[in-house]
A and B are shown apart, each in its own frame.
Chain A
């Protein structure tokens, strides 16, 4: 049984299609849900929580149907919204304990777990003060704590690093990684920042304009491309032209040349010798020479979608 599965999931609003035939199967782990703002990430999360009915298609979370068993799902999942959602006049302890009880925990367990969870997210003495006086970083921790306090099986985090400074960002990402790996809770983290997702996720789901671009292990997104990236200190058209003459497939773009490592039936690394010789004869200084890897950003380049849809 997969953690989450969807089949042809579609959500249409008047004039807008937020999700367009999304089919997914996700296993537990830290799952990055990436896409630009408005790509449909929040809509997907709300449908999975049973807060929003889909227009078409099916979804299952923990083998439950969000459309009919939403309450049962919401007892077992935690949700951290993107926006501010904390009342300013109560303390973190009071608020998180209340939210634990609203999740169905008896009051004793709610108090105990509140203390535990606030310690795990790194809130100590300040937890007895009203939330209104907290920094953004502390508020994000309270938001995370209320999603975690009832020990959910799945955690939905919507843009958890929103508004954080670089240090706060690092700490939040570290926490997410711990929750996924150490606490053993499946995490779906939605973000428009690929660099962050790359640091915590083991599996990646990329969506754009409500459509699935790709769903795959993170490693497959960044594997080697079989291309050589050559950067020089001057415009490199001449170098590319010479490589083509020598039978390699090469293209120049400003001061960089991208060439296929293996061309025709030449041995794979012969191109290194060719680059060295041609750069030397042209009097070009080589700045960088490396095997190119896929960049997550490639997913969202024009044409990326067509090439890579699974």
Chain B
């Protein structure tokens, strides 16, 4: 714009300006939805109240790892560090809480307040939309399922007498750490969003997510009391146990507290159950969003 002779401070209407800059199309749109979804997952740009659960869960997931690593590095051999798989199972209770609190933020209002037609009248399709939401929640969940374990990993390497030797000892665990983190994050995100896509309000969605995990846990417990046979099926009612079983199947590492240890099922069963859980969740999402009228 050229300088105007008008006095400084005068407000004048500069009229409508056309936009001839770049248009990023479908990729830009998907990136925007992923970015906004990530922010929503941590309550960024929202009230302080909506930050409590996601940040609280993240801090709780990180504290034991952080403290243990700090003590180990500063004080030395006083304590043994948690094993990677024990740690992931140990903080598992935080995952349903995070998903129940944040998954509804990503999808319920868009559906309830009929914002979806505004998305679909832009250069994306319905599957782009839900894929972007899934990616956003999965990435957010990685902060819980991967970050603390990576800190533990760093602690183990740093606490070793010889850095190179320590790295050599631990590096073999890295694929398992990454794989387990991604597996948990993606399956939990898909399950959470699938449940939320069926709920009319955010509160119902949160309740439904918690219910699925609680009922799964309770049923697993009840079955376990029934003695042999049925007890072996117990973990299959608990999504977290299914994921732990699949993790063991893929990467090894037994967790003593996990119902998987008590049940006498081939580990591949858990792999199958995980595929089924993910498949059903994705199918629910696909069907639900195909039915949205524009």
A contacts, CB < 8 Å to B: 46, 49, 51-52, 71-72, 74-75, 77-79, 81, 83-89, 94, 98-99, 101-107, 109, 113, 116, 120, 146, 150-151, 182-184
**Complex CA distance for A74 and B128, rounded to whole angstroms:** 14
CB <8 Å contact, A102 and B19: no
Kindly report which residue of chain A lies nearest to residue B21, judged by CB atoms: A109
Chain B residues within an 8 Å CB radius of A105: 19, 21, 23-24, 28
CB <8 Å contact, A52 and B294: yes
Can you pick out 30 interface pairs between chain A and chain B where the beta carbons lie within 8 Å of each other?
Answer: A51-B121, A52-B294, A71-B26, A71-B123, A71-B124, A75-B123, A83-B114, A84-B113, A84-B114, A85-B114, A85-B117, A85-B118, A89-B46, A98-B36, A102-B29, A103-B122, A104-B26, A104-B123, A105-B19, A105-B21, A106-B21, A109-B19, A109-B21, A113-B19, A116-B16, A150-B19, A150-B23, A182-B16, A183-B16, A184-B18
CB <8 Å contact, B121 and A49: yes
Kindly report which residue of chain B lies nearest to residue A49, judged by CB atoms: B121
Q: Is B211 interfacial (CB 8 A cutoff)?
A: no
B contacts, CB < 8 Å to A: 15-19, 21-26, 28-29, 31-33, 35-36, 45-46, 109-110, 113-115, 117-125, 294
CB <8 Å contact, B124 and A102: yes
Chain A residues within an 8 Å CB radius of B25: 71, 75, 104
**Complex CA distance for A88 and B46, rounded to whole angstroms:** 12
CB <8 Å contact, A101 and B28: yes
CB <8 Å contact, B45 and A116: no
Known: A49-B121, A71-B123, A104-B29. A85 touches B113 (CB 8 A): yes
**Complex CA distance for A217 and B21, rounded to whole angstroms:** 34
**Complex CA distance for A72 and B125, rounded to whole angstroms:** 12
CB <8 Å contact, A101 and B29: yes
CB <8 Å contact, B24 and A46: no
Q: Could you list 8 further interchain pairs (A-B, Cβ under 8 angstroms) beyond the known A51-B294, A106-B22, A182-B16? A: A71-B124, A74-B123, A77-B121, A79-B121, A85-B115, A86-B115, A101-B35, A106-B28
Chain B residues within an 8 Å CB radius of A87: 109-110, 113, 115
The minimal Cβ–Cβ distance linking A126 to chain B, given in whole angstroms, is: 18
The minimal Cβ–Cβ distance linking B66 to chain A, given in whole angstroms, is: 33
CB <8 Å contact, A86 and B19: no
**Complex CA distance for A107 and B25, rounded to whole angstroms:** 13
Chain B residues within an 8 Å CB radius of A81: 114, 117-118, 121
**Complex CA distance for A88 and B122, rounded to whole angstroms:** 21
The minimal Cβ–Cβ distance linking A156 to chain B, given in whole angstroms, is: 8
**Complex CA distance for A262 and B89, rounded to whole angstroms:** 95
Interface centre among A51, A88, A120 (most CB of B within 10 A): A51
Chain B residues within an 8 Å CB radius of A106: 21-22, 24, 28
Kindly report which residue of chain B lies nearest to residue A120, judged by CB atoms: B16
**Complex CA distance for A83 and B22, rounded to whole angstroms:** 31
**Complex CA distance for A75 and B23, rounded to whole angstroms:** 8
Chain B residues within an 8 Å CB radius of A120: 16
Q: Which of A77, A79, A104 contacts B23 (CB 8 A)?
A: A104
**Complex CA distance for A183 and B118, rounded to whole angstroms:** 22
Chain A residues within an 8 Å CB radius of B122: 74-75, 99, 102-104
Chain B residues within an 8 Å CB radius of A72: 123
The minimal Cβ–Cβ distance linking B220 to chain A, given in whole angstroms, is: 36
**Complex CA distance for A98 and B118, rounded to whole angstroms:** 11
Chain B residues within an 8 Å CB radius of A86: 113, 115
Chain B residues within an 8 Å CB radius of A77: 121
CB <8 Å contact, B119 and A102: yes
**Complex CA distance for A47 and B115, rounded to whole angstroms:** 19
CB <8 Å contact, B114 and A116: no
The 7 closest A-B pairs by CB, nearest first: A101-B32, A151-B19, A79-B121, A104-B23, A183-B16, A71-B123, A75-B123
Chain B residues within an 8 Å CB radius of A103: 23, 29, 122-123
Kindly report which residue of chain B lies nearest to residue A109, judged by CB atoms: B21
Interface centre among B24, B25, B32 (most CB of A within 10 A): B32
CB <8 Å contact, A88 and B23: no
**Complex CA distance for A183 and B24, rounded to whole angstroms:** 23
The minimal Cβ–Cβ distance linking B128 to chain A, given in whole angstroms, is: 9
Chain A residues within an 8 Å CB radius of B24: 104-106
Chain B residues within an 8 Å CB radius of A101: 28-29, 31-32, 35
**Complex CA distance for A52 and B292, rounded to whole angstroms:** 12
Chain B residues within an 8 Å CB radius of A182: 15-16
**Complex CA distance for A94 and B26, rounded to whole angstroms:** 20
Chain B residues within an 8 Å CB radius of A104: 23-26, 28-29, 122-123
CB <8 Å contact, A102 and B32: yes
Chain A residues within an 8 Å CB radius of B29: 101-104
The minimal Cβ–Cβ distance linking A227 to chain B, given in whole angstroms, is: 43
CB <8 Å contact, B113 and A71: no
**Complex CA distance for A105 and B22, rounded to whole angstroms:** 7
CB <8 Å contact, B32 and A98: yes
Known: A51-B120, A87-B115. A94 touches B45 (CB 8 A): yes
CB <8 Å contact, B33 and A102: yes
CB <8 Å contact, B118 and A99: yes
Chain A residues within an 8 Å CB radius of B46: 89
Kindly report which residue of chain A lies nearest to residue B129, judged by CB atoms: A102
**Complex CA distance for A103 and B36, rounded to whole angstroms:** 14
Kindly report which residue of chain A lies nearest to residue B29, judged by CB atoms: A102
**Complex CA distance for A113 and B19, rounded to whole angstroms:** 8
